[in-house]
Structure formats: C-alpha cells, structure tokens
C-alpha cells in the first residue's frame, strides 16, 4: 500500500460511520477514493443533480449544507467538518440538499460504482463460503455503540453460549468503535450468567477513553435485559520500543505430523477397549467439528474415569479456512479459541473414578504482544498453577511457528464436582 493510500485508510478509520467496517474493507475503499478540491463558494453537490457522484468524506476545510436554493431564510443549515460525510450510497439515492464550500475544501469521493463497499451483510445473507469463524464474529450494527451477535447452529455450544464466543464477539464489537490503526493489546473478561443459544446477544459498547495512542472500551453483553458478560479491552496504535522475550517455546513435533482432535474423538467413539458408557458419552457430545483445528502435542487417550492428567497441556491450533488480512479479526479468532479447553486444565489433576468435574470460566485475561495469524499454526501451552476454594487458576502462552511469544493468558475457573454412580447398562441399545 502506498503512502497516500495508507493515509487515506488512517483517515477513514476515524470516520465514525465506518467503524462498522473491517480494516480490509477500509483498504479496498482507500484504493478507489478520488481527491476532490473546491474553492470557497463552489458547489460540491446540487439538489437538482440527476445523478449523485457518490459519497463524499470531508478531509480538510468546511462546507455548508443548504436545505433549498434561494430561500436562505427557510433552509436548514449546518457545517460539515473533517470526518463528516454526505452523498448517496448510505441513505439511498435521493439527496435533496445543496452543499457549498465555505472555505477551501478537500473531499475524498467514493464514486457510485464503489458504494457497495460500504455495505455490511446481514447474518442471514452471510456468504457460506466464508470461514465459520468469520460468520460467528459478524456483528450486526443496531446503533453507533450497539451491536447484535448470534449463536449459529454449527457454532460450539453445550446447551449454552460458549465462553469464547462471548469474548470474541464482545471484542469484535468494541473493535468497531476504535480507529483502524489501534489494535487490541489486552482484554479482561468476567462471565456472569450462562447465555441462551436460541436468542441474539446485544453488545453495548462504552467508550471510556480515546487518546492519541490508546483507547479503552467496556462491553456489556445482554440477553432478556440481564448482563451476561462484561469485557474491558485496551487498544493501542503501533509504536516502536524495547523488544525482548524471556519465555521460550518448548520443542514439539510439527502439527502436520500429529493427529487432529476430531480424529482422536472418532477413535474414542469406536475403540471397544474403552467403557461402553464412555464411548456413548463421547458420541453424544461430539456433534460437529470445531471451527478450530486442534492437534495435541502429547495425546492422552485416558478417560476422565481412568487416571489423572498432568497439570500441563500443549497443543497446536489454527482456524479452519483462510481468513482475511484484518489483524483485528485474527485477534478475535484467537480470543475465541483461547477458551475451548482452558478451564479443564485446572480440574484434570483431580480426576478419579466416579467423579466428573464441570469447570466454568469465571474470568479471562489476555495480552497480545505481537502480530499474529489465527489461520496459521499457533502453539498453546497451558499450566495449572493452583486450585483452592472450588476455584482453579491457569496460565497460558501462545507461540507462532518461529517461536515468538504472541499472546499471554490467565483464567480462573469454578470447579464443580459431581459424583456419579456406576452406569447401568441398558440392554435396549
């Protein structure tokens, strides 16, 4: 991208109307913008023009909007300043006003033939060719700071909204309210109530702070008037500074040589050396492949009924399908994937026969250190630090294939123990 296009993208990222668009959409718009310059008193558009050229974004200077020509005393007037917009393509093709430059004026014009780039697809119109995760993370804008998310039929869920979906959708909603050049560097989430997978989720974003280099957002996820989940996220403009890394990626076999999680589950469902009730349980819970491809570095084929598992877990993961270039999207996808198995690491050391632990995420924190790609392999290393008072704390690190630490994580989970009796074999199978 050349310097002019890069500057245009930075400008577009500050236009509130365009916060709902992805960075890849802004880049496409920037590549087709036309610079238009006007002297004071020049008409930019006239109400009687049969065809409007497109959408104008005020870059420099000011313009006056007149409700009618020749009737100054009756017309509605207001000034258009940098980051304001006018023209067709946003609110239809009819534009019944005149716009006049009141100073030297520079606008960026998105011509009519390219106005489709301003559109966002409704969830029902989502392209089925797009990766499932991109469709899960689609946020339907209801207002400037209010978005609606959905739980798709093939999204991960066990009777309730998956915690990673809350984190990722809330992060996606907050990302749409900040400048394009500011990317999330940390988030802190609290899970309050279980979410209903059958109704939409309303995400309300509070703009807590907007500085030159940092922005802070709070997001409340609501259903039926109740707050189900809260997220705080901080965004930073890219800055040069000190760079070092003390944490080293453990040496593991490459993911291409490892068995996928789906294949492991298929084996468990058909391995007759495992108890029948366990095979039946796995078959019942396994509904569809996850949108994340997972490859365990040290596969453990024991069941929760047979022996304890170590307090460490390492696996490679990546999103299924190729994602767009939007770095904000990649970080949302990683946030989604981070909660898939994180809570279980705290209960694994306590496995014993006749006991089933159901961990529930309480709070979840992430720090993003370096750019990453969620559709390329990342190594997730989790360590269970402690468990006490029915709560377990785990820490985690994510590395790219070059060994760079890209994300650090911590999560506290509620560890619920349910004692089950020996299963009764049902002859009517």
Q: Where in the sequence numbering do the catalytic residues fall?
A: 339, 361, 411
**What is the CB neighbour count within 10 angstroms for residue 240?**
5
Burial class (CB in 10 A: 0-12, 13-18, 19+), 235: buried
Closest CA to 384 of 311, 335, 317: 311
State the sign of the Cα–Cα–Cα–Cα dihedral 179, 185, 189, 195.
positive
139 contacts 147 by C-beta, under 8 angstroms: yes
Q: Which residues contact 385 (CB under 8 A, 6 or more apart)?
A: 393, 394, 395
C-beta of residue 56 within 8 angstroms of C-beta of residue 29: no
Residue-by-residue DSSP string for 112-131: GGGGGGG----GGG--TTS-
Structure tokens at 78: 């207001």
Region of 329 on the Ramachandran plot (φ > 0 left; ψ -120 to 50 alpha; else beta): alpha
Name beta bridge partners: 225.
none
């Amino acid at each position: 991208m050349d310097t002019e296009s890069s500057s245009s993208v930075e400008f577009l990222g500050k236009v509130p109307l365009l916060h709902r668009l992805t960075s890849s959409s802004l880049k496409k718009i920037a590549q087709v913008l036309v610079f238009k310059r006007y002297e004071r008193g020049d008409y930019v558009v006239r109400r009687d023009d049969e065809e409007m050229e497109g959408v104008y974004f005020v870059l420099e200077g000011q313009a006056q909007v007149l409700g009618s020509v020749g009737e100054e005393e009756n017309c509605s007037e207001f000034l258009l300043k940098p980051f304001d917009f006018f023209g067709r393509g946003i609110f239809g093709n009819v534009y019944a006003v005149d716009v006049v430059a009141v100073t030297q004026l520079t606008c960026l014009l998105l011509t009519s033939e390219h106005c489709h780039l301003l559109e966002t697809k409704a969830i029902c119109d989502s392209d089925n060719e797009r990766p499932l995760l991109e469709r899960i993370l689609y946020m339907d804008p209801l207002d400037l700071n209010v978005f609606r998310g959905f739980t798709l039929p093939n999204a991960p869920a066990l009777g309730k909204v998956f915690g990673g979906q809350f984190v990722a959708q809330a992060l996606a909603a907050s990302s749409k309210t900040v400048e394009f050049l500011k990317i999330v560097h940390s988030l802190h989430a609290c899970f309050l109530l279980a979410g209903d997978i059958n109704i939409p989720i309303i995400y309300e974003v509070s703009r807590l702070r907007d500085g030159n280099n940092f922005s802070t957002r709070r997001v409340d996820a609501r259903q039926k008037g109740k707050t189900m989940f809260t997220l705080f996220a901080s965004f930073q403009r890219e800055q040069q500074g000190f760079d070092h890394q003390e944490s080293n990626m453990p040496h593991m076999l490459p993911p291409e040589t490892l068995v996928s999680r789906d294949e492991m589950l298929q084996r468990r469902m058909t391995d007759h050396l495992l108890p029948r009730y366990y095979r039946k349980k796995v078959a019942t819970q396994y509904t569809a492949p996850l949108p994340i491809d997972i490859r365990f570095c040290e596969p453990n084929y024991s069941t929760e009924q047979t022996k304890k598992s170590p307090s460490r877990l390492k696996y490679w993961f990546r999103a299924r399908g190729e994602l767009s270039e939007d770095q904000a999207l990649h970080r949302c996808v990683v946030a989604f994937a981070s909660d898939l198995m994180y809570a279980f690491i705290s209960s694994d050391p306590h496995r014993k026969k006749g006991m089933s632990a159901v961990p529930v995420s309480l709070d979840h924190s992430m720090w993003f250190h370096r750019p990453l790609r969620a559709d390329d392999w990342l190594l997730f290393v989790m360590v269970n630090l402690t468990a006490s008072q029915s709560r377990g704390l785990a820490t985690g690190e994510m590395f790219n294939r070059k060994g760079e630490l890209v994300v650090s994580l911590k999560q506290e989970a509620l560890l619920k123990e349910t004692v089950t009796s020996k299963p009764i074999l049902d002859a009517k199978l």
